[in-house]
């Protein structure tokens, strides 16, 4: 990956990949959501309210996945001084914040008919809210500190420290008694991984999750390309001012 530390190489690679990412994201999300709304049968207990799962679950997956991506980029930026690592983490943060907010909103809407309340200080819900605050704090550091190098370092340190919340989110339903259900898509049984929902529900859910993943990388590449252009303009303006 160090070859793509060069912005020119990254711009060439991203320009090649972007059309494929957009097509895959739209196709998978379109098919998954169509199946979820028009084909998948209502749940025998939850009825049609279960359809919100096809937005809620992929949003939850992406909230944690993007933070993990930011953690790796932050470590690379801190240790190896990769020129584009801090840009990757910086531009991923708003996307992760949007997915996490979507997870919390759809979870609240789903919780009302199931639990009788929009919100409860459940371990899973609370740890997801903390994740949203971490995203907002990370974005706030970049906005508050004018020196780009200092902002990158401070934001990276916050990201590295905050990664402890990711295993808490994952195992919260196993470590504490919570209203939130445990793993309900796939689980380990008899020493092997097996699906725990019917294939008619599983495949649209996986398609929506994979579509969200491709959507993330498409948006990330667009944002990183914009950030590279912004940095070039800033450099040119500084050079002109110095001259």
Q: What is the pLDDT of residues 156-179, one digit of tens each?
A: 999 999 999 999 998 887 777 777
Spatial neighbors of 11 by CB under 8 A, at least 6 apart, are: 225, 228
Give the pLDDT of residue 236: 87
Is the pLDDT reported for residue 183 higher than 70? no
The enclosing H or E element of 114 equals helix 85-115
Mean pLDDT of 120-145: 95
**109 assigned to some structural domain:** yes
The Cα 125–Cα 137 span in angstroms is 18
**138 assigned to some structural domain:** yes
Is the pLDDT reported for residue 137 higher than 90? yes
SS3 category, 186 = strand
On whether the CB atoms of residues 63 and 99 are closer than 8 A, the answer is yes
Domain total of the chain: 1
Q: Give the pLDDT band (50/70/90) at residue 214.
A: very high
Is the pLDDT reported for residue 21 higher than 90? yes
Q: Give the pLDDT band (50/70/90) at residue 82.
A: confident
Give the pLDDT of residue 113: 86
**90 assigned to some structural domain:** yes
Which is nearest to 65 in space by CA: 101, 96, 97, 106? Answer: 96
Can you name the residues that pair with 193 across neighbouring β-strands?
Answer: 188
**45 assigned to some structural domain:** no
C-alpha distances out from residue 44 to 104, 141, 144, Å: 24, 47, 50
**94 assigned to some structural domain:** yes
**44 assigned to some structural domain:** no
**What's this model's pTM, rounded to 2 decimal places?**
0.92
Write the DSSP symbol of residue 35: I
The Cα 146–Cα 126 span in angstroms is 32
**142 assigned to some structural domain:** yes
**157 assigned to some structural domain:** yes
**Structural domain of 205:** 2-39+50-174+182-242
The Cα 209–Cα 203 span in angstroms is 10
């Amino acid at each position: 990956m160090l070859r793509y530390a060069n912005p020119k190489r990254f711009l060439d690679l991203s320009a090649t990949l972007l059309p494929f990412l957009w097509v895959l994201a739209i196709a998978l999300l379109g098919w998954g959501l169509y199946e979820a709304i028009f084909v998948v049968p209502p749940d025998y207990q939850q009825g049609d309210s279960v359809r919100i799962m096809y937005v809620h679950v992929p949003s939850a997956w992406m909230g944690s996945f993007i933070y993990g991506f930011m953690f790796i980029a932050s470590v690379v930026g801190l240790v190896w001084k990769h020129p584009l690592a801090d840009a990757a983490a910086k531009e991923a943060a708003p996307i992760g914040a949007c997915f996490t907010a979507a997870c919390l909103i759809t979870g609240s809407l789903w919780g009302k008919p199931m639990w009788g309340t929009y919100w409860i200080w459940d371990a899973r819900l609370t740890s997801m809210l903390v994740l949203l605050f971490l995203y907002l704090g990370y974005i706030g550091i970049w906005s508050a500190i004018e020196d780009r190098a200092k902002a990158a370092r401070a934001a990276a340190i916050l990201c590295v420290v905050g990664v402890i919340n990711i295993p808490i989110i994952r195992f919260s339903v196993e470590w504490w008694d919570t209203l939130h259900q445990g793993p309900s898509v796939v689980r380990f049984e008899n020493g092997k991984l097996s699906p725990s929902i019917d294939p008619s529900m599983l495949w649209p859910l996986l398609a929506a999750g994979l579509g969200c993943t491709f959507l993330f990388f498409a948006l990330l590449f667009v944002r990183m390309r914009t950030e590279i252009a912004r940095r070039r303009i800033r450099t040119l303006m500084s050079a002109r001012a110095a001259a």
